[in-house]
Structure 1
Amino acid sequence: MTLTLHDILHGVETTGSPADLDTPILGITYDSRQVRAGWLFVAIRGFHVDGHRYVGQAAAAGAAAVVVDARHWGGDPIDVPLISVADSRVALAPLAANFYQRPATGLRTIGITGTKGKSTTTDLVSQVIEGGGFSTGMISTVDFKVGPRRWPNSTRQSTPEAPEIQGLLREMADAGCAYAVIESTSHALSSRWNRLGGCMFDVAVFLNITHEHLDYHGSFAQYRADKARLFEMLGEGEKGEAWAITNADDPSHRHFLDAAPARARRLTFGVRAEADVRAHEVSAGPGGSALRVTTPWGEARLRLHLPGSFNVSNALAALSVALSQGIPLARAVAALEAVPGIRGRMQPVSLGQPFDVIVDYAHNPDSFEQVLGMLRPLTRGRIIAVFGSAGERDRAKRAVQGEIAGRYADLLVLTDEDPRGEDPAAIIAEIAEGAERAGKRSGDGYLCIPDRAEAIRAAMAAARPGDLVLLLGKGHEGNIIYAGGAIPWDEAESAREALRALGYS
């Protein structure tokens, strides 16, 4: 079915419309380089590039029509239909949803938001719902998934732009998926971006919130308000029962429940606070956790193969979603127990070695404090931490990361993360300054090995029975960025290669 400009503009308020609304539209993009004959180009003013400068280029490439932002458009007339809107970035989501024929109407959509744990919980929710017998699609920082097909998210964007989201939702609907599970960032939820408009959420999940991303949101109150938009959007499609699910351990959880429409059902989960879905008798180690869980649907014992107390909370969130969707408790628990790990998120790597190896994405001081602080009392032997810090990013955090790791770990192996255009040795030297403030000394307390594969081999060779080798910073990412470009990278596989070289299999 070929859609027309009239179809694409349905429900979008315009400040000026062309006469020819019967123009066929074959595609939609906000990137002038992707324009093909018959496509709609939506000009957006970004942080670094203003798409309005490329309207002429899009028209020359065969654009069938162009949408511009009334605040930023003052260009010369063009020979294709031109539509003016009050805010082209906000309009992009409904335009994309219309082009893909509103795929969320045929799916149960679940949004996961929080400062930490979104990727892990998104994956857990997808897996536990599949364990309940339903086909799912997934959009996360780590992977995209449509039914049985799964592939890495190589965009380095947790929540893609609206056309990519709607395109994936259309693939899910066409593939017969019953559910779409979407990692929902505060940037994507913000009314300034509106990437998640048209997703028609049926379930909203709040994990936690801390003082982060304030450079974008301006204040903690605005950051929280932007995240809470997920709950405000509940039930927009009126497809059935809507659920608002929150972490009762977080002081802000009531704010999120209150943001949901009155008709949405409420459900809480927690470890410390009174909650509908509650963990009891939690015992944890580097290899995972065991607990008893009580719910309105009964109680059960649960053994997770995911290390960390925060993963107990993430698992409770996933369990809550499954139960809200009618999946029996025993089946949901079995699905959670079958999860071997989430790629790049507290991911165990084992080839039979007598020490633990964990790959995690932690790459800032707060996550270092959380991960290392949690693992230190659970580790019988030494902690050997391998990490770096990104080039052309926040320099101030480098020494802080070194100092935090120096307090918790016995040996640091400082290496490349994404140096970009900076000197890798200079970045490592800044991390080392912090390590020395924590009492570490070169050659004993820390090693400087820029080549990350070599650094991982050195860490494995130094490990003794009972130790923990912790690989931080890269997680799921598929490359390391240098001045000359990106080189392919797989942190978990590099760990396996180092273990195989030591004779483990």
Structure 2
Amino acid sequence: MKAPRPAHVTPSSVAELASVVAAGLQVEKTSLTPDARVVTGATLRAQDVRPGDLFAALPGARAHGADFADQAAAAGAVALLTDEEGSRRAVAAGVALPTLVHPDPRAAIGPAAARVYGDPSKLLRVLGITGTSGKTTTCYLIDGGLRAAGVSTGLVGTVETRVAGERLNSAFTTPEAPDLQALFALMVERGVGHVSMEVSSHALSLGRVGGTEFAVGGFTNLSQDHLDFHRDLEDYFAAKARLFDGRARHEVVCVDGGWGARLVTPDTITVATGADAEASWSVRDARALPTGEQTFVALGPDGVRLDLRIRLPGPFNIANALLAAACLHADGIPADAIAAGLSAVDVPGRMERVVEGQPFVAMVDYSHKPGAVAAVLDAARAQTEGRVLVVLGCGGERDTGKRPAMGEEAARRADLLVVTDDNPRGEDPTSIRSAMLTGALAVPRAQRGEIVEIGDRRAAITEAVARARPGDILVVAGKGHETGQHVGEIVLPFSDRDVLAEAVRARETEENR
């Protein structure tokens, strides 16, 4: 399925785009001048080219996009954007299209696509959130505040993309640059005024948000993740920090951790939840309610006071909500709309409860990083006087270093840890579980709960449900909102929410016979 695009685009000339991206322009054996060539779309995938497109032929690890330039031309591409090597390959293949030659075409495609689609982010107020954990929740909270203010909204993130209430599936946390600019243009066309969006480290490193103007940039936190892509934590942080290089009019940063403090400038709006922290926004009188809800007072600049209630448990969700409130306030959203909007938000797959009349709490959560697992289980522990049970796996072909750490964090906090498969992809799932168990079993026996290994995820969830007692909390972690399990080259239908609900219903039926 091709990415959505606006119905109407004002054409741009190739020469105009060359000027925008400061690219050299080559014309090989074409009867039309660059000024006569008009561009009405952009893509970096040859199979998605539509007539009138600029095709960005990018160098890759396994192939060069220019090797597909003939396919793009046959589909109707009117110009190429590539590097010197790509230009040579296109010419050798007999592709006679005007070619914008840039030393870093990936960095150039964002600004080029933005111009193609009329610089749509200038017509929107885009609130972007980056960080390791909390991006999705914070964006949903921001979206709730915006809608409570009567604004037509867009949302771009891991769970879904929404355009004025219409839901679209998400392929990436942050779409590729041409798709993102087309999406923004579609939002403008449909009357959207504000957009909350997750901004991943991949997006910042790979230029996906190039050409995007942000009204607000927000930072949640940083902990180990994506070290299969980034060299180390410093490289990971440097990618996140790009959102705060001046591209956002307002910068809002949570300084609860040391990483956030490194982003602070004299103009930064700071957020902190610690009792003694000094920040633009702080928290007072936080209370966890038996329902899993929380209340707290948010104190902001110039005497602003917000009495907030959120449906989400855990101290980390107070931090997410405070960051959302600060971002909304920076964007001029009234206090009453902020309070009303945040109070109505549920986030798919983020400490999401499954209620089937059972005498224990069952929930699914997307936590798939050591810090996130620890935070979720700490929140679960604070909610109950019973036991904490967790079903947890790790994804294949991803950061291998976090597997023992995830096992360790879960073992230290859970009374029962069921180690299972997540998305093994092309890896041997046994080796993934073994790495988790190495970390879990390294915790001294007196400091950990029972550890069970069940590879089949459905069977693991069913076993955990069977072991739950009244008053316990069971967390099925790692996949959250996902509806498929990646095994080898295929994606099997699998929803933690659905499987957990089925297991709970089956248990309740059996006990009521």
TM-score after normalising by structure 1: 0.88
Residues 314 and 375, structure 2, Cα contact 8 Å, conserved in 1: no
The answer to whether the 8 A contact 2:287-2:296 is kept is: yes
Distance 1:57 1:327 in 2: 48
Q: Residue 179 of structure 2 is aligned with which of 164, 186, 211?
A: 164
Residue 335 of structure 1: aligned partner: 341
Cα gap change, 1:428/1:216 in structure 2, threshold over 3 Å: closer, same or farther?
Answer: closer
Match status 1:199 vs 2:212: yes
2:270 to 264, 268, 271: 268
**Could you tell me how far 1:63 is from its partner in structure 2?**
2.4
- Secondary structure of the residue aligned to 2:263 is helix
Residue 280 of structure 1 is matched in structure 2 by 284
Distance 2:19 2:151 in 1: 32
CA distance in 1, matches of 2:203, 2:76: 30
Deviation per CA, 1:5-42, whole angstroms, max 9, x where unpaired? Answer: 24444512112343432113343211122224432211
Q: Does 1:473 align with 2:478?
A: yes
Give the structure 2 partner of residue 177 of structure 1: 192
Segment drifting more, 203-212 vs 38-47? 203-212
State which drifts further: 404-413 or 137-146. Answer: 404-413
Q: Which residue of 2 aligns with 1:74?
A: 88
Which amino acid in the other structure matches residue 48 of structure 1? Answer: R
CA deviation map 1:89-147 (0-9, x unaligned): 11110121112111112111111122221111111111111111111101112211111
Question: Against the structure 1 CA distance between its residues 79 and 104, is the aligned structure 2 distance closer, same or farther, given a 3 Å change threshold?
Answer: same
SS at match of 2:192: coil
Moved more, 170-179 or 201-210: 201-210
Deviates more, 1:265-274 or 1:309-318: 265-274
Q: Secondary structure at the match of 1:331?
A: helix
- Report the secondary structure of 1:366's partner residue: helix
TM-score when normalising by structure 2: 0.87
1:214 to partner: Cα distance: 5.6
Amino acid at match of 2:217: A
Match of 1:209 in 2: 222
**Which residue of structure 1 aligns with residue 507 of structure 2?**
502
Residue 69 of structure 1, CA deviation: 0.7
CA distance in 2, matches of 1:503, 1:433: 35
Q: Which moved more, 1:42-51 or 1:11-20?
A: 11-20
1:318-340 Cα offsets, whole Å, 9 max, x none, are 1112222333323311211111x
Query: Any idea what the Cα deviations from partners look like across 1:169-218, whole Å, max 9, x if unmatched?
Result: 1111111111011211223223xx22112211111112223455566454
Query: Does the 8 Å CA contact 1:400/1:434 hold for their aligned counterparts?
Result: yes
Aligned partner (choices 30, 37, 53) of residue 23 of structure 1: 37
Could you give the per-residue CA deviations for residues 311-360 of structure 1, whole angstroms, max 9, x where no partner exists?
10100011112222333323311211111x21112222223322112211
1:350 aligns to 2:355 (yes or no): yes
Say yes or no: does 1:244 pair with 2:244.
no
1:165 alignment partner, SS class? helix
1:52 corresponds to: 66
CA distance in 1, matches of 2:224, 2:378: 19
Q: Give the partner amino acid of 1:12.
A: V
In 2, the alpha carbon distance for the partners of 1:8 and 1:388 equals 47
Taking only the aligned residue pairs, the percentage that are identical comes to 36
Q: Distance in 2 between matches of 1:433 and 1:20?
A: 61
Question: Does the C-alpha gap of structure 1 residues 3 and 377 become closer, same or farther in structure 2, counting only changes over 3 Å?
Answer: same
TM alignment of 1:339-488, pairs within 5 A = 339=345, 341-438=346-443, 445-488=450-493
Deviation string 1:428-457 (CA, Å, 9 cap, x unpaired) is: 34434444444679xx92333333223222
Moved more, 217-226 or 180-189: 217-226
Distance 1:431 1:285, change over 3 A: farther
The answer to which of 431-440 and 172-181 deviates more is: 431-440
Hey, what's the Cα distance between the residues in 2 that align with 1:375 and 1:309? Answer: 11
Q: Specify every segment of 5 or more residues in structure 1 that has no aligned partner in the other structure, as ranges.
A: 236-241
Compute the displacement of 1:488 (Å): 1.9
After TM superposition, the structure 1 = structure 2 runs for residues 318-333 of structure 1, keeping only pairs within 5 Å, are: 318-333=324-339
User: Within 2, Cα distance between the matches of 1:470 and 1:92?
Assistant: 42
Asked if 1:65 is matched to 2:67, the reply is: no
Change (3 A) 1:47 1:367: farther
Contact map agreement 1:456 1:495 (CA 8 A) in 2: yes
The SS at the match of 1:492 is helix
Q: CA deviation at 1:425?
A: 4.2
Question: Counterparts of 1:355 and 1:471 in 2: how far apart (Å)?
Answer: 13
Conservation of the 8 A alpha-carbon contact between 1:362 and 1:368: yes
Are the aligned partners of 1:140 and 1:159 in contact in 2 as well (CA < 8 Å)?
yes
Q: 1:495 to 1:285 in 2, by over 3 A?
A: farther
8 Å contact from structure 2 (residues 223, 371) kept in 1: no
Whole-Å Cα distance in 1 between the matches of residues 430 and 232 of structure 2? 35
Counterpart residue number, 2:310: 304
Query: Structure 1 CA distance, aligned partners of 2:226 and 2:395?
Result: 17
What is the deviation of 1:222?
4.7
- Partner Cα separation in structure 1 for residue 75 and residue 327 of structure 2: 46
- Distance (Å, rounded) in 2 between the aligned partners of 1:365 and 1:323: 32
- How many positions carry a matched residue from both structures? 487
Structure 1 CA distance, aligned partners of 2:191 and 2:264? 31
Q: Identify if the C-alpha distance between structure 1 residues 85 and 298 changes in structure 2 by more than 3 Å, giving closer, same or farther.
A: closer
The match for 1:95 among 97, 100, 112 is: 112
| C-alpha contact 2:14 2:98 (8 A) present in aligned 1 | no
Pick one of 220, 226, 229 that aligns with 2:242. 229
- The one-letter amino acid of 1:445's match is E
Shift of the 355–283 alpha-carbon distance from structure 1 to 2, 3 Å rule, reads: same
CA contact (8 A) 2:377 2:410 kept: yes
* Contact 2:83-2:105 at 8 Å conserved across structures: yes
1:285–1:308 CA contact under 8 A, matched in 2: no
Is the CA contact (8 Å cut-off) linking 1:15 and 1:70 kept in structure 2?
Answer: no
The AA in structure 1 aligned to 2:257 is D
CA contact (8 A) 1:70 1:87 kept: no
Conserved in 1, the CA contact under 8 Å of 2:51 and 2:76? yes
Residue of structure 2 in register with 1:239 after alignment: none
1:490 aligned onto 2:503? no
Structure 1 residue aligned with 2:5:
none
Amino acid at match of 1:276: S
- Give, in whole Å, the separation in 2 of the partners of 1:423 and 1:229: 36
Equivalent residues of 1:480, 1:489 under 8 A apart: yes
Q: Say whether the 8 Å CA contact 1:32–1:54 is kept in structure 2.
A: yes
Residue 22 of structure 2: aligned partner:
13
SS at match of 1:391: coil
Name the CA distance, whole Å, in 2 between partners of 1:276 and 1:82: 49
- Say whether the 8 Å CA contact 2:407–2:437 is kept in structure 1: yes
The CA RMSD over aligned residues, in Å, is 2.7
Structure 1 Cα separation of the partners of residues 82 and 108 of structure 2: 10
